[in-house]
Every structure is written in C-alpha cells, then in structure tokens.
Structure 1
Amino acid sequence: MLVKTKGIVLHQLKYSETSIIAKVFTLDYGIQSYLVKGARSRKSKISPALFQALSLVEIVAYRKEKSSLHHLKEIKSLHHFQSISVDIVKSSIAIFINELLYRSIKEEEPNPALFEFIFNSVMCFDLAEEKFANFHLIFAIQLTKYLGFYPSGSNTKSTPIFNLVEGMFDSKLNCVHEHIDENGSKNLDQILKLSYENMHQLKINGETRAEISEKIIRYYHHHLPAFENIKSLEVLKTVLS
C-alpha cells in the first residue's frame, strides 16, 4: 500500500554500498524504518541532507502491514534548516536532542500530540536567532509530558529537593532516593515554568547548565526501561561551557 506521511528523521544506518535504512518518527505510524535504495550512490536523486538528524520531511512509501521495514519511494523537505546545520552550538544541541529522541521513543503507534510537539520545537529552535543555550533543557523536560513522567509539585520550603525516582519535589527528611540538591531543584523549578520564548530568563553558567543536563538524563534513566547513555552529552557540555 502506498502511503504519504510527515516525518522527523532520527537515525540512518548503512545498509549496503549504495543504500541506507532510515529510522523516522512519523505522524501517522509512529517510529518506522525505511529502506532507501541508492541513497549513497553518486547518481542518487535523493539528497543526503534529507536524512540529517531532525530533518522535517514528507515521505511517500510502500507500507506493508506487520512488516518492520518499508520501502521509501519519495521524500521531500518540509523545512530547510536555516541555522542548525551551520551553527556549531546549534548543531551540537540538535545532535543531543536527536539522540534523546532516538533513545526515548520506541512506539510504533501514532502519537500526533508528541509528533506536533517535536516538529514545532525543531522549527522554533532552527529559527531562534540568539539566547538558545537553555533550549535543550526546556525541550527535555517538556518531552516528559508526552512520555508519561512529567515532574510533579514545585520547589518550596517544605519540598526543596527534587526526587528523581519518584518524579516529584520532596522534603529532605522523606527523600532517601537519588535527588537533585536544593540549588539544582530551584533551577529545575524555573525550567518547568519557562517556554522557548523566555528560556533566556534562566541565568546559569556553563557548569550549572551541564549539571542540570546530567540530572535530567539521570531522571530519564529512572523512568524509561533500558534507556541508554546519551553519548552526545559530553560534547554538548564542552560546547556550552
């Protein structure tokens, strides 16, 4: 069956000397794998840039029910990146976000709300002209809404630390699990209240930003089974330091 859908490219794997398998999060079918014949050939009519991390595309493919691999017929860009591919800081953040999504999203069922969140976030990030160093923090926390473990509560005198295991702000006396300290919890509380439009209001240095990034990834580890390490985090910490 020939189908058309929007997609967000998450990963590509060399399949043969001339072909690749692209893993794409699609609007209508969730995570899908597509065989792209001839994509690595010099004579290919398909641009390699279309399979760049987080590329926003429209796909026409031959889809087989109960098959784990589908054949891509056509692909076109829905948004040509203005800055992600040329700005070293943005590209590092994009690689981190892409890996986070690749490690987090496994479902092969459609999730339109999650798709629209990611699609719009990538668009917003690409078009942001300045003060975007906190973007990945806002994105990673907002993503947990759709993954089912958004933090609960808020930072108060009685609940000054964030319990990573329980996913809630907690008291010092009650929390026996891995947690974020008081200063970090204050920053997390502010992140929860920010959006992409005002993310620059979080005034932190590179060291603190790195610490928060690490704690957020630890949070993912506690709430997603078999969640693997984010290898791009170390590079991102260096770039943003």
Structure 2
Amino acid sequence: MLHKTRGIVFSYTEYRETSLIVKIYTELFGIQSYIVNGVRKKNAKLNVGWFQPLTLVELVVYHKERHGLQRISEIRPMPALRDIPFDVIKSTIVLFLNEVLCKAIKEEEENQLLFEFLFNTIQLFDVQQPVSKDFHLLFLIRLTRYLGFYPIQNYDTQHPFFNLIDGKFQSQIPLHPYYLNESAALNFSNLIFNSADLSARLNITAEDKKKLIENILEYYRLHIGGFFGVKSHKILEQIFE
C-alpha cells in the first residue's frame, strides 16, 4: 500500500553499484530504511544531493509492517533548503546535530510532536541570519523536551549543583560522579533559560562552550541507552576557533 509522508533524511550508505540505502525519519512511521535504486546512475532522475543529512523531503512509499527494508515510489526535497548546503558554519552544525539525532532517535513509530519540532526547526535554521554559533547547544536542550528528559530549571544559589541523572539542580553534591559543579551548573542553567530562543547568543567563553557541549552529551549518554561515540562536535570547535 502506498503512503504519502514527509521525512527528514538522517543518513545513507551506498548499495551495490548504483543504489543507496537511506535512513529517513518519517512523519508517519518514525525511523525507516529505504532502498533507492539507480540513484547513482549517470542519467538518474533522482539527485544524490537529496539524501544529504537533514534534507527535508516529501515521499510516497510502500510500507510493510515489521519489514526491515522499505521502498520509495516518489521522493523530492520539500521544501528545498536554501543556505544549509552552502554555508560552512550551518552545514557543520547540521552534521553534528545529525550525528546526535541518529544516535538518539530509534523508534519505528509515529511521534508527531518530535517530527514537527525537527522539521520546523531545520527550516528556521536554514534561513537564520546571522547564524547563531550557539544554535546546536540551544537545540540539544530543546530536543530533550521531546525525548523525555528535559532538565528541571530550579537553579538558584541554594541549588548550585546539577544532578545529571535526576535532571535537576540540588543543594549538595550527589553521592555519584555524574553532576556539574557550581560554574558548569550555572552555564547549564543559562543554557536552559535561553533555549526558548534558538537565535540566542550565550555570554560565555569558547572554553566554557566546549565544556558545556561535553556536559550536554554526557547528559544524553545517561538518559539514552547506547548513546555514545559522538565525535563531530570536535570539528565545530575547530571552525569556531
């Protein structure tokens, strides 16, 4: 049976001589893997560029429940991204966020709120001018709301430590090593406070931003099984230096 759905491309791998296997986060079916035949032929109707990370697409697909590899009948970019493919900063941020999303989202089921957040946010980032170099930090905190572990914002001078396991600030150092000290917790609190505006700029040093992103990734690791091995933020650090 054919279904029309929107999707967000996560990744692809080359398959045989002319085909691709593409992982797409779809509006109707969650994460799905599709085989796309002939896309790497010389005169192919489809463009390999349509399968770059976080490309927004409209699909007509054949869908079979509990079937590992699905098939695409039609696909097109919708809407076509204007800046991300050509802007070095934006494309590097997208590569990092794509790596996180691939490791964080695994469900083969519909999640309308999460899908709408991702689809709309990618469009906003594509046209954002000037680009916020803190977008990825703000995005990752906002994303936790849809993944189910948004941190409780109860920071004050009486609660200066952040418990990475419980997801809240507390008055004393916990009896485990997964926490942020006073200075790191303050930066984390400011990030939560500013995350409502994805164009916000964080008033902290470059070194503090490096620590902050490591803290966020640790927070993800503690709340998502199998979340490890994210490396592309190191490329971001080089570009922002």
Give the root-mean-square deviation of aligned CA atoms: 1.4
Deviations, residues 14-53 of structure 1 (Å, cap 9, x unaligned): 1111000110001111001110001111121101111010
Q: Distance in 2 between matches of 1:129 and 1:155?
A: 31
The alignment partner of 2:96 has SS state of: helix
Cross-structure match for 1:22: 22
Asked if the contact 1:163/1:178 (under 8 Å) is kept, the reply is yes
Cross-structure match for 2:200: 199
Name whichever of 90-99 and 179-188 sits farther off. 179-188
Cross-structure match for 2:5: 5
Q: Distance in 2 between matches of 1:13 and 1:231?
A: 19
Q: Give 1:197 shift.
A: 5.0
Cross-structure match for 1:161: 161
Alignment identity in percent? 39
Aligned letter for 1:25? Y
Asked if the contact 2:135/2:200 (under 8 Å) is kept, the reply is yes
Q: Give 1:179 shift.
A: 1.5
The alignment partner of 1:107 has SS state of: coil
- Give ranges in structure 1 of 5+ residues lacking alignment: none
- Note closer, same or farther for the CA distance 1:159–1:4 as it changes in structure 2 (3 Å cut): same
How many residue pairs match? The answer is: 240
Asked if the contact 1:12/1:22 (under 8 Å) is kept, the reply is yes
- Give ranges in structure 2 of 5+ residues lacking alignment: none
Cross-structure match for 2:172: 172
Deviations, residues 190-230 of structure 1 (Å, cap 9, x unaligned): 22122335512x21232211111111001011111111211
Q: Distance in 2 between matches of 1:106 and 1:197?
A: 25
Moved over 6 A (4+): none
TM-score between the two structures when normalised by the length of structure 2: 0.95
Asked if the contact 2:138/2:198 (under 8 Å) is kept, the reply is no
Q: Distance in 1 between matches of 2:57 and 2:26?
A: 9
Asked if the contact 1:163/1:177 (under 8 Å) is kept, the reply is no
The alignment partner of 1:108 has SS state of: coil
Aligned letter for 2:14? K
Aligned letter for 2:31? I
The alignment partner of 1:189 has SS state of: helix
- Note closer, same or farther for the CA distance 1:198–1:94 as it changes in structure 2 (3 Å cut): closer
Q: Distance in 2 between matches of 1:187 and 1:152?
A: 14
1:213 aligns with 2:217: no
Cross-structure match for 2:107: 107
Asked if the contact 2:220/2:227 (under 8 Å) is kept, the reply is yes
Cross-structure match for 2:81: 81
- Note closer, same or farther for the CA distance 1:173–1:35 as it changes in structure 2 (3 Å cut): closer
1:236 aligns with 2:236: yes
Q: Distance in 1 between matches of 2:87 and 2:181?
A: 33
Q: Distance in 1 between matches of 2:198 and 2:110?
A: 28
Name whichever of 169-178 and 124-133 sits farther off. 169-178
TM-score between the two structures when normalised by the length of structure 1: 0.95
The alignment partner of 2:98 has SS state of: helix
Cross-structure match for 2:36: 36
Q: Distance in 1 between matches of 2:140 and 2:33?
A: 24
